[in-house]
Amino acid sequence: MDWESQRVVDYLTEVEEAAEQVLTTKQQIIDLDMKRNGNREALNALKKMCSAEKVKVCFGNTTFIKLPKSTAKEMIQKDQDQLDSELNHLRQGLKANVNHLNKTQGKPELRGYNLLPLSTEEMKPMKSVFKL
Protein backbone atom coordinates (compact mmCIF):
# COMPACT_ATOMS: atom_id res chain seq x y z
CA MET A 1 0.00 0.00 0.00
CA ASP A 2 1.43 3.36 -0.96
CA TRP A 3 1.71 6.34 1.35
CA GLU A 4 -1.38 8.18 0.04
CA SER A 5 -3.62 5.12 0.42
CA GLN A 6 -2.40 4.63 3.98
CA ARG A 7 -3.28 8.25 4.80
CA VAL A 8 -6.82 7.75 3.48
CA VAL A 9 -7.24 4.55 5.51
CA ASP A 10 -5.93 6.28 8.65
CA TYR A 11 -8.29 9.23 8.10
CA LEU A 12 -11.31 6.99 7.60
CA THR A 13 -10.37 4.94 10.67
CA GLU A 14 -10.12 8.07 12.81
CA VAL A 15 -13.49 9.37 11.56
CA GLU A 16 -15.11 5.97 12.14
CA GLU A 17 -13.75 5.79 15.71
CA ALA A 18 -14.98 9.30 16.48
CA ALA A 19 -18.42 8.54 15.05
CA GLU A 20 -18.59 5.28 17.01
CA GLN A 21 -17.78 7.18 20.20
CA VAL A 22 -20.63 9.62 19.53
CA LEU A 23 -23.09 6.79 18.87
CA THR A 24 -21.98 4.86 21.96
CA THR A 25 -22.41 7.92 24.17
CA LYS A 26 -25.86 8.60 22.72
CA GLN A 27 -26.93 5.01 23.43
CA GLN A 28 -25.63 5.22 27.00
CA ILE A 29 -27.65 8.43 27.50
CA ILE A 30 -30.79 6.70 26.19
CA ASP A 31 -30.28 3.69 28.48
CA LEU A 32 -29.68 5.80 31.58
CA ASP A 33 -32.65 8.01 30.75
CA MET A 34 -34.89 4.93 30.55
CA LYS A 35 -33.68 3.88 34.01
CA ARG A 36 -34.28 7.38 35.32
CA ASN A 37 -37.84 7.35 33.97
CA GLY A 38 -38.45 4.00 35.68
CA ASN A 39 -37.19 5.45 38.96
CA ARG A 40 -39.44 8.47 38.55
CA GLU A 41 -42.43 6.15 38.02
CA ALA A 42 -41.46 4.18 41.14
CA LEU A 43 -41.18 7.34 43.24
CA ASN A 44 -44.60 8.52 42.05
CA ALA A 45 -46.09 5.11 42.86
CA LEU A 46 -44.60 5.30 46.37
CA LYS A 47 -46.11 8.76 46.87
CA LYS A 48 -49.56 7.49 45.93
CA MET A 49 -49.35 4.55 48.35
CA CYS A 50 -50.74 5.76 51.65
CA SER A 51 -51.30 2.75 53.84
CA ALA A 52 -48.38 0.45 53.16
CA GLU A 53 -45.59 0.46 55.75
CA LYS A 54 -43.45 -1.93 53.72
CA VAL A 55 -43.19 -2.24 49.96
CA LYS A 56 -41.69 -4.83 47.65
CA VAL A 57 -38.74 -3.55 45.65
CA CYS A 58 -37.36 -5.34 42.59
CA PHE A 59 -33.57 -5.68 42.42
CA GLY A 60 -32.38 -6.79 39.02
CA ASN A 61 -35.06 -8.62 37.11
CA THR A 62 -35.98 -11.43 39.48
CA THR A 63 -35.30 -10.53 43.11
CA PHE A 64 -37.98 -8.84 45.20
CA ILE A 65 -37.22 -7.63 48.71
CA LYS A 66 -39.70 -6.19 51.20
CA LEU A 67 -38.39 -2.91 52.63
CA PRO A 68 -39.82 -0.09 54.70
CA LYS A 69 -41.37 2.51 52.43
CA SER A 70 -39.00 5.26 53.60
CA THR A 71 -35.92 3.09 52.93
CA ALA A 72 -37.13 2.18 49.45
CA LYS A 73 -37.86 5.83 48.66
CA GLU A 74 -34.42 6.85 49.92
CA MET A 75 -32.67 4.17 47.83
CA ILE A 76 -34.54 5.11 44.67
CA GLN A 77 -33.81 8.82 45.24
CA LYS A 78 -30.08 8.12 45.68
CA ASP A 79 -30.12 6.08 42.48
CA GLN A 80 -31.97 8.93 40.75
CA ASP A 81 -29.34 11.45 41.89
CA GLN A 82 -26.53 9.20 40.66
CA LEU A 83 -28.25 8.74 37.28
CA ASP A 84 -28.69 12.52 36.94
CA SER A 85 -25.01 13.02 37.64
CA GLU A 86 -23.97 10.36 35.12
CA LEU A 87 -26.32 11.77 32.49
CA ASN A 88 -24.92 15.29 32.90
CA HIS A 89 -21.40 13.91 32.61
CA LEU A 90 -22.27 11.93 29.47
CA ARG A 91 -24.01 14.92 27.88
CA GLN A 92 -20.94 17.09 28.42
CA GLY A 93 -18.79 14.31 26.96
CA LEU A 94 -21.12 14.04 23.99
CA LYS A 95 -20.55 17.69 23.17
CA ALA A 96 -16.80 17.13 23.19
CA ASN A 97 -17.15 13.96 21.10
CA VAL A 98 -19.29 15.71 18.47
CA ASN A 99 -16.79 18.58 18.27
CA HIS A 100 -13.94 16.06 17.88
CA LEU A 101 -15.86 14.29 15.09
CA ASN A 102 -16.49 17.59 13.29
CA LYS A 103 -12.84 18.57 13.68
CA THR A 104 -11.74 15.19 12.32
CA GLN A 105 -14.01 15.62 9.31
CA GLY A 106 -12.74 19.15 8.74
CA LYS A 107 -16.06 20.74 9.63
CA PRO A 108 -16.32 23.84 11.84
CA GLU A 109 -17.28 23.52 15.50
CA LEU A 110 -20.97 23.80 16.25
CA ARG A 111 -21.96 27.28 17.39
CA GLY A 112 -24.16 27.74 20.40
CA TYR A 113 -23.59 24.15 21.47
CA ASN A 114 -22.07 25.14 24.80
CA LEU A 115 -24.80 27.56 25.87
CA LEU A 116 -25.97 27.41 29.47
CA PRO A 117 -29.31 28.58 30.86
CA LEU A 118 -29.48 31.76 32.93
CA SER A 119 -29.14 31.27 36.65
CA THR A 120 -31.82 32.41 39.10
CA GLU A 121 -29.76 35.49 39.96
CA GLU A 122 -29.37 36.38 36.28
CA MET A 123 -33.11 35.92 35.69
CA LYS A 124 -34.20 38.40 38.40
CA PRO A 125 -33.32 41.54 36.39
CA MET A 126 -34.82 39.98 33.25
CA LYS A 127 -38.11 39.32 35.05
CA SER A 128 -38.29 42.88 36.32
CA VAL A 129 -37.59 44.35 32.88
CA PHE A 130 -39.99 42.08 30.98
CA LYS A 131 -42.58 41.77 33.76
CA LEU A 132 -42.43 37.96 33.72
Which residue has better confidence, 2 or 84?
84
C-alpha span between 24 and 14 (Å, rounded): 15
pLDDT band at 52 (very low <50, low <70, confident <90, very high): confident
Structurally, at CATH architecture level, domain 3-107 sits in: Orthogonal Bundle (1.10)
pLDDT for residue 132 = 65
Judge contact between 101 and 14, C-beta under 8 A.
no
Strands (E), the chain: 54-59, 63-68
Phi then psi dihedrals of residue 111, to 5 deg:
-90, 145
- The strand pairing partners of 63, in sequence order, are 59
pLDDT tens-place string over residues 71-124: 999 999 999 999 999 999 999 899 889 999 999 998 888 777 677 788 889 888
Global pTM value: 0.75
Q: Is the pLDDT of residue 47 over 90?
A: no
Domain residue limits, the chain: 3-107
